[in-house]
C-alpha cells in the first residue's frame, strides 16, 4: 500500500496514490512527483527527451548543410588560393533578358565579404581576383549569379539554354565551362535572351 510522504495517507493502489498527490498536494510536489503525477494524466503523450534530441540533431544538420552547400558554395572554393595570393583584373558584361548590370554601383562592391573576387573603387567596374584559382563559377556566385554549363540563375529565376532562352557564357569571346579559371585581362560576358 503506497503511503503519502506529504500527509501519511495510505492508498490501495499506486494509481489512487498518484491521484491523491495530484488533488491534495499539487502545489507541494517535487520534480519527481510532478513527473509521476503527469504520467497518470498521460501528459501530452510526447516524450520530451527524444523530441529535444531530434530538434538538436535537425539544427545540427541544418548548420552543416548551410556551411557545406551555401556558405561553402562558389565553385570549388577549396581549390582557390588564400586571399592575396594573386591579383588579376578583368572586365565584365552581364545582360539578363534585356537588363544590363552596372557593376560600378556600390551594391556590387563587397571586398570585405568576398576578398577573393569583387569590385573596388567608386566608379571602377573591373572585377578583381585576389586569389589563385578563382573560377568563373566562384566569381559569379559571389555576385549572386549561379552559372552552370547550360544555365544562369539570378534572383531565384533559372534561365536554361534551349528552354525558351538563349544563354551565352563566354570569357574573352570563347564559350567556357563554369570551372574556367579567370586570368588577367579576361572579359566575362554572360547574356540571357528570350529565344
Ordered per-residue pLDDT tens for the chain, 195 residues: 788 888 888 888 888 888 888 888 888 888 888 887 775 555 555 667 778 777 888 888 777 655 544 444 444 456 899 988 999 999 999 999 999 999 888 888 877 788 899 888 776 778 999 999 999 999 999 999 999 999 999 999 999 999 999 999 999 999 999 999 999 999 999 999 998
What does the DSSP 8-state code read for residue 141?
H
Compute the residue count for the chain: 195
pTM, two decimals, is 0.59
Asked whether the beta carbons of 104 and 124 are under 8 A apart, the reply is: yes
- CA distances, 171 to each of 41, 157, 176, 180, 186 (Å): 70, 23, 6, 9, 6
- Sign of the Cα pseudo-torsion (133, 135, 139, 141, in order): negative
The span from the CA of 130 to the CA of 88, in Å, is: 7
- For the domain with range 77-194, which CATH number is right: 2.30.40.10, 2.40.50.1020, 3.20.20.140, 2.170.130.30? 2.170.130.30
How many Å apart are CA 175 and CA 85, to the nearest integer?
27
Amino acid at each position: 500500500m503506497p503511503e503519502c510522504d506529504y500527509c501519511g495517507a495510505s492508498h490501495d493502489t499506486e494509481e489512487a496514490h498518484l491521484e491523491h498527490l495530484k488533488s491534495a498536494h499539487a502545489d507541494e510536489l517535487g520534480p519527481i512527483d510532478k513527473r509521476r503525477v503527469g504520467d497518470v494524466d498521460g501528459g501530452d503523450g510526447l516524450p520530451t527527451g527524444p523530441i529535444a534530441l531530434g530538434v538538436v540533431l535537425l539544427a545540427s544538420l541544418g548548420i552543416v548543410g548551410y556551411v557545406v552547400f551555401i556558405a561553402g558554395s562558389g565553385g570549388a572554393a577549396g581549390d582557390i588560393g588564400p586571399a592575396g595570393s594573386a591579383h588579376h583584373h578583368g572586365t565584365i558584361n552581364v545582360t539578363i533578358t534585356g537588363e544590363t548590370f552596372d557593376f560600378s554601383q556600390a551594391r556590387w562592391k563587397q571586398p570585405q565579404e568576398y576578398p577573393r573576387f569583387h569590385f573596388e573603387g567608386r566608379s571602377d567596374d573591373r572585377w578583381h581576383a585576389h586569389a589563385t584559382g578563382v573560377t568563373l563559377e566562384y566569381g559569379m556566385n559571389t555576385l549572386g549569379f549561379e552559372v552552370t554549363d547550360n544555365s544562369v540563375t539570378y534572383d531565384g529565376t533559372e534561365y536554361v539554354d534551349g528552354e525558351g532562352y538563349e544563354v551565352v557564357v563566354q570569357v574573352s569571346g570563347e564559350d567556357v565551362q563554369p570551372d574556367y579559371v579567370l586570368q588577367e585581362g579576361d572579359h566575362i560576358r554572360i547574356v540571357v535572351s528570350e529565344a
